[in-house]
Structure 1
Amino acid sequence: MPAKDAQTQTEGFSAEERAAMKKRAAELRAEGKKGAKKADGLKAVLDAIAGMAPEDRALAERVHVTVTATAPELTPKTWYGMPAYANADGKVVVFFQDSGKFKYRYSTLGFQEDAHLDDGDIWPVSYALTEWTPVVAKKVTELVKAAISG
């Protein structure tokens, strides 16, 4: 897929973004045992994303950037081999499942029990993702903000 503007980029992480994430992982390792665990989680997420098909990888990278920018208090980790982001108690709040994992026609952005998305007696906890657009970026940001509120 051809690259779009920075907001809707689908070619994946730029060299600068990759370098910044590697630097951040090194910083976390330097913080000691707790930082090393966070760095290992970040590396595992980045490795899981790197192993995806190009279309899934582009979506996962945008989700990763959005979640980590919107909710820096969530810790990246893998969950059943998928990129996920956990709260301070280590419980997964949000995860990304690539379409190739179970041969679905769409990737999934999902939320676990600790996400604060409750809305009456019924509410969605997973969303199909097929393309990253400004509308999708805005919705994902809103969902992540809601998930960590409260």
Structure 2
Amino acid sequence: MGAACDPGRRLCLSFPPEQDAAVRRGREFTRRALAEWHLCAPRSRATPLLAEDVLLVTAELLANACLHGGGPRELVVEHLPGVVGVAVSDASPALPRRRRIEAGQPGGYGLLAVERIAVCWGTTVDASGKTVWAELLTTRPRWC
């Protein structure tokens, strides 16, 4: 499936330079991880499908790395009790920022979507670039 950082709970996918189809490759990697962890629940009207939310966040973080970070270096997908974490690293130290959304113009909604879907998200910067991460709940809060 990919290089396992911590078999079963933390899976890593490295991207070579000039990676074509990074978003598609990362989504498929994440889809297989979710299936391996039995987190691809059947569709329900009462709750959104966790897998679709995780895949959307993964695609947005990878697309941003492609568009603004010189391409992704690594994708990490992690399953902890109650949470799925997604992290994408790239070589750019520039922090992500939400673009001003202009009516009738495409783009600018990616980080807004991540912010609304994830329970939390953020950025870690180091000497080799940055990692943008997000965490999604695997279960709904009791009173929602």
TM-score range, shorter chain: 0.3 to 0.5
Structure number with higher helix proportion: 1
Structure number with higher strand proportion: 2
Higher relative contact order (CA 8 A, sep 6+): 2
TM-score normalised by the chain length of structure 1: 0.35
